[in-house]
Each structure stands twice: as structure tokens, then as C-alpha cells.
């Protein structure tokens, strides 16, 4: 479904009427197409991170959930169909199970990971970073398959400061799980280097 250039704002209620098989995000009512589908290095990183995080969380009260999964970020206590911000992060780690709904997740997950794709790179690095900060996502990771880098933003006093930047020779750990170490050499092992 191609949306015309418009100043119209959409809500989750309208979003739910759009054809199945199409992926969209709404940020403050503005619709963004999630296509074309991600390439295999992107999906390979999603699969590897999901497996590593899932194994670590086994027996713990948190869970890792890969996309596609709707994450509704309400401005207040509005009904789900009136929420105007719905995103599909590549991975979310959710510890507050009360945020799970029949629609997906309502409210900020504790940890969000986005893998950069050419079609979403600038939105992930700007709009979505600001969005996650505003909604209180405690930690936001951005992973670049082409640069083989990881940026980790951590919420301090309600804002993200300068990110910690990890290259492929380093290991990264989320603040909430300091004993979960992700070796970037292993993370990027099967990902081809950019030409």
C-alpha cells in the first residue's frame, strides 16, 4: 500500500486496517514503509543476537522478541487504537511482562536493538533514537553490518548521552545484564565485509 504524500496523521486503529503482508511504522502519526525487506546480513545479525540473548535469558523473567512485533508507544493513557506511534524494532528485550498485550508490546521495552539497513539507517539513528529516549527505553543499541560497529546509548537522567562505540575487536554488554558479553568478532563472523 503506497501512501500519498500527505499531512494526515494516522493511529494504530487505522494502521490495523492496512493490508496484511505490508510492514509500516508510525512515528507521531507519520507513516513510514518498512520495505524493501532487509537483506540477509541484517537478518543474520537479528538471528545471532536473538539466539545469544535468548540463551542468556533462559530462566530469567525477561524475554527477547524479534521483529515483526508492534511496539506501541502511547503519549498517555489513550486506548490502543488511538496511539499514534507504533514501531517494529529488530529486537526488544522486555522484563515487564505486564506490557505484553494481544497487539504486541505497549510501552517502552528495557532494551531495543536496531540493525542498520540502507532504507532505515537515518531514521534509526535520528528519529528512532530520539523517540526511544523520549519514551524511556533504558538502552538502545544500533548495529551497523557494513561498518561492523555497535553504538550503545544508555539513558542517564532521562537523556541519551554520547554513545559507547564498539568495533569488531571488542565485546559489548548491556547495563541491565553486565555478565552477558557479546563478542563482536563472533557477531560479525558470517557477515561479508563491505567492498
Which CATH number characterizes residue 158's domain?
Answer: 3.90.1570.10
CA angle 92, 94, 96 (to 5 degrees): 160
What residue numbers bound the domain in which 174 lies?
37-71+86-187
Residue 85 reports pLDDT greater than 70: yes
- The per-residue pLDDT for 60 is 95
Average pLDDT over residues 149-157: 96
95: in domain: yes
Domain count, the chain: 1
Tell me: pLDDT of 157 over 50.
Answer: yes
Please report which confidence band the pLDDT of residue 35 belongs to, taking 50, 70 and 90 as the band edges: low
For the chain, the maximum distance between any two Cα atoms, rounded to a whole number of angstroms, is 48
pLDDT for position 121: 64
2 is a domain residue: no
pLDDT of residue 7: 64
Count Cβ atoms below 10 Å from residue 85 Cβ, excluding itself.
Answer: 20
> Alpha helix (H) ranges present in the chain?
12-15, 40-57, 121-125, 127-135, 184-187
Cis, bond preceding 36 (omega within 30 deg of 0): yes
pLDDT per residue over 92-108, tens digit each?
A: 999 999 999 988 999 99
Helices in 16-126 by DSSP H: which ranges? 40-57, 121-125
Mean pLDDT of 75-84: 92
Task: Report whether pLDDT(3) > 60.
Answer: no
Q: Is the peptide bond before 31 cis (omega within 30 degrees of 0)?
A: no
The answer to whether residue 171 is domain-embedded is: yes
Predicted TM-score of the model (pTM): 0.87
Cell numbers representing residue 59 in the block: 530462566
Amino acid at each position: 500500500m503506497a501512501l500519498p504524500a500527505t499531512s494526515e496523521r494516522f493511529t494504530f486503529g487505522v494502521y490495523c486496517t492496512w493490508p496484511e503482508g505490508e510492514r509500516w511504522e508510525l512515528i507521531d502519526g507519520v507513516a513510514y514503509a518498512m520495505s524493501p525487506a532487509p537483506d540477509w546480513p541484517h537478518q543474520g545479525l537479528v538471528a545471532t543476537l536473538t539466539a545469544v540473548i535468548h540463551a542468556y535469558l533462559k530462566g530469567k523473567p525477561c524475554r527477547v522478541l524479534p521483529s515483526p512485533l508492534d511496539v506501541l508507544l502511547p503519549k498517555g493513557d489513550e486506548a490502543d487504537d488511538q496511539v499514534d506511534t507504533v514501531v517494529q524494532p529488530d529486537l526488544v528485550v522486555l522484563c515487564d511482562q505486564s506490557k505484553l498485550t494481544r497487539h504486541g508490546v505497549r510501552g517502552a521495552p528495557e532494551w531495543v536493538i536496531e540493525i542498520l539497513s540502507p532504507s532505515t539507517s537515518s531514521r534509526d539513528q535520528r528519529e528512532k533514537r530520539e523517540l526511544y529516549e523520549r519514551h524511556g527505553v533504558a538502552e538502545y543499541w544500533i548495529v551497523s553490518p557494513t561498518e561492523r560497529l555497535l553504538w550503545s546509548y544508555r539513558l542517564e537522567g532521562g537523556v541519551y548521552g554520547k554513545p559507547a562505540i564498539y568495533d569488531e575487536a571488542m565485546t559489548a554488554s548491556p547495563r541491565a545484564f553486565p555478565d552477558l558479553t557479546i563478542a563482536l568478532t563472533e557477531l560479525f563472523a558470517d557477515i561479508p565485509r563491505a567492498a
